[in-house]
Structure 1
């Protein structure tokens, strides 16, 4: 039997931001490589995610859709409840009656009588279903499974929105740092060009060296312009997803790995990924729908009570009243064969959804393995690029010294500077990849929710609206609980 606790509570599995982070990441992510000068307290990733959780319209839409599906349950339960109808009619009638008779003289005469009357009738009927072929029970089970599937889809939407927020947050920091690096590179190359022009005027180098310096400076300015454009794009995405313009962002730590190995990630994802859970409940709802359709082939029983009154239906002053209680049993024999086709169709749909479950499990497992390997690759890249930066810094210092004594050309210096810049940009990107990959792994195994991340925000209660409407017999009010607000 499918466990419904998966959707009611999710225990954090090493998902708290920063908890248990590897020591070599802390000093790297704490450097100015990713963080702007802290002139004031910056916005943290957790605060941005809390703002997203409370204000994102995509997430609000998914919550509203869950409330829509919640209403399927009281609709199914209505099959147990009685129906009450009152029918009334009122009118005016005019009639003429002609009667032939024989008078005292033996003559045949005709007598005409005109009648005018007000006509009225009223009838109250109460019908209580006793047995509907099991359709009410099956429809209720189906509706509840649909609710559980929609809750899983809400969790999937929540994870995707939070992942988008993480990506937007990290991208702003990444492109801010790339702009800074490219701006600094352009300034260095401008000074390099000025020095090259001075040496050219005194005849130490040729015009070729000057042209090479000018070319590198123009390329640096183009790279700076491109990174500035990317930064503005990332700011726009940040505002769309998170709901506010980025201010001073604090460099985030990656999440602790949600699995020890790729095999662990695959196994957890196959059980806990919201897409898998939703597919399981969809398949259960499809099996219940078979029973719903089979109910049309089974007997049905109901009890009906009526009270009626009729005035002046035939003659003025004539009134009839009555009450009756009738038990009805209907046994379908043959109805054209459409009901059999619907049952077969429902069985095939259930078989289709069983294949969807397998497909979702394989997809979730593959995504988890890919996320785990991407995280490991990003971490290894960080180590390699840091070593590359150290070597590039030493190489640049040596090339600059050798250029002073004439054993190196201007092009050699420019190449060394470009190599160091490329390494630093690669480090920024690798660090950003570590953060986003750690969250992608948590998403793949179903652990990127507000509860798992312990966001400082009121959690949305999936059961509040369901409980408010499940057993409600009547009412047109809005039973939506207040939306969560950021604390």
Structure 2
């Protein structure tokens, strides 16, 4: 009886220890590493890459020797009718077994479609590799976006709660002022209306916090207790390097995994044209064969043969009903489509690079401007409070100043997150090291 009691005591102690343990804070790098292992799109892209890699040995195998053994054994039952010396038909029945054994080696020497198929398989692998890299880069952007959106929702909730606390204090002060004989009913009504609005905003902010946390949890496939926040003191406001947007566009066109994937698809389409045109070319194979057969001749069923054969086999296509020409036209149309998709992506990529580059450069200026606006709003709050105490300002003035401060703080937090997200996205567009980009932003996190 003592062992079960001991087990219960150990279990209860473990639960109490877990309950008293501090909440675990998730940072950006941890979120990215978790998403890297759990995201379904990444796993699908890896499987597609692994599948595409198998195209190479399959295409290469068609150019290597093919060795086959063909074995057969048959029972022959022959009914034969022939005239005898008297001119009458006489029937004979005969049963015997025959067999054949063939060992053949076939080596393709010239097959245009197979050569083109081998090149095409390499391009398919390049496409899959680039597509996986694009998904990995996009994952960094998606995780950073979800993380920053969750932080913004958390900041918005904290600001609403702070505003609600200030409004509650102002409402209490307005009631006391009215009781003292120098306040107004309007101040109470204004403070009460602001408090009711803050309560509604708090409910909405709680819902948005839960929604953004859920978005992040889906990406990393694990619950989120708390997030490590951005440390404003560590955050450097750095312009993009190089500063010229044209340089970033060039890097994107040269190194973007999205462009590389589409370029590989264009090369695949060109190889498909060569494959289709190969239908007009003859094929040449070298053949070496050993065959043994027995009882295959009706006239001499007990005989056996052994044949050694070596030579070349040439197949010259003459007419296939227009199939080859149609395949060539189809492949050319696919090439045109691949070219246009590549050109459209390059143009769109330039627009996205411009947008994220501007998000960094303008983000630096916006964050600095809002930092100054916060200082001014804080000074306004202090001045409004002193003026209220002196009787030259009303409760409404103080509430307006507080609301302006909280709005400015929310705008500043949003500007910081947009600036950080633009840095990650810009580097992802040009195919830079995603781990380095995430690690750089993660180094600017501090509080919890």
Q: TM-score, normalised by structure 1?
A: 0.77
Matched, 1:115 2:94: yes
Unaligned runs of 5+ in 1: 1-38, 456-487
1:128 aligns with 2:113: no
Aligned equivalents of 1:386, 1:108: Cα separation in 2: 123
Query: Which residue of 1 is the match for residue 164 of structure 2?
Result: 186
Distance 1:46 1:228 in 2: 25
Residues 335 and 113 (structure 1 numbering): CA distance in 2 closer, same or farther, change over 3 Å? closer
Other-structure match for 2:333: 348
SS in 2 for 1:306: strand
Pair 190,445 (structure 1): closer, same or farther in 2 beyond 3 Å = same
**Structure 1 residues 378 and 183, CA, compared in 2 at 3 Å: closer, same or farther?**
same
Is the contact between residue 439 and residue 448 of structure 1 (CA under 8 Å) also seen in structure 2?
Answer: no
| Greater share of residues in helix | 2
Question: Is 2:38–2:219's contact at 8 Å kept on the other side of the alignment?
Answer: no
Structure 2 spans left out of the alignment, 5+ residues: 1-21, 441-448
8 Å contact from structure 1 (residues 269, 364) kept in 2? yes
Matched, 1:377 2:356: no
Q: Which moved more, 1:275-284 or 1:195-204?
A: 195-204
**Cα distance in 2, alignment partners of residues 364 and 180 from structure 1:** 37
- SS across alignment from 2:141: helix
Deviates more, 1:381-390 or 1:258-267: 258-267
How has the CA–CA distance of structure 1 residues 205 and 95 changed in structure 2, closer, same or farther, with 3 Å as cutoff? same
1:357-372 correspondence to structure 2 within 5 Å: 357-372=342-357
1:328 aligns with 2:309: no
Contact 2:26 2:227 in 1 (8 A): yes
Per-residue CA shift, 1:32-73, capped at 9, x if unaligned?
A: xxxxxxx88844322332333333222121111111111121
Tell me which residue corresponds to 2:59: 76
Task: Write the mapping of 1:71-470 to structure 2, written as runs, cut at 5 A.
Answer: 71-102=54-85, 112-132=91-111, 134-252=112-230, 253=235, 257-313=240-296, 314=298, 317-450=302-435
C-alpha contact (below 8 Å) 1:368/1:441 kept by paired residues? yes
Residues 419 and 108 (structure 1 numbering): CA distance in 2 closer, same or farther, change over 3 Å?
closer
Change (3 A) 1:161 1:272: same
> Normalization by structure 2: what TM-score?
0.84
RMSD (Å), alpha carbons: 2.6
2:28 corresponding residue in structure 1: 45
Alignment: residue pair count? 412
Deviation, 1:165, is: 0.8
Deviations 1:348-406 (A, max 9, x none): 33233233332222222211111010122222221111111111111112222222333
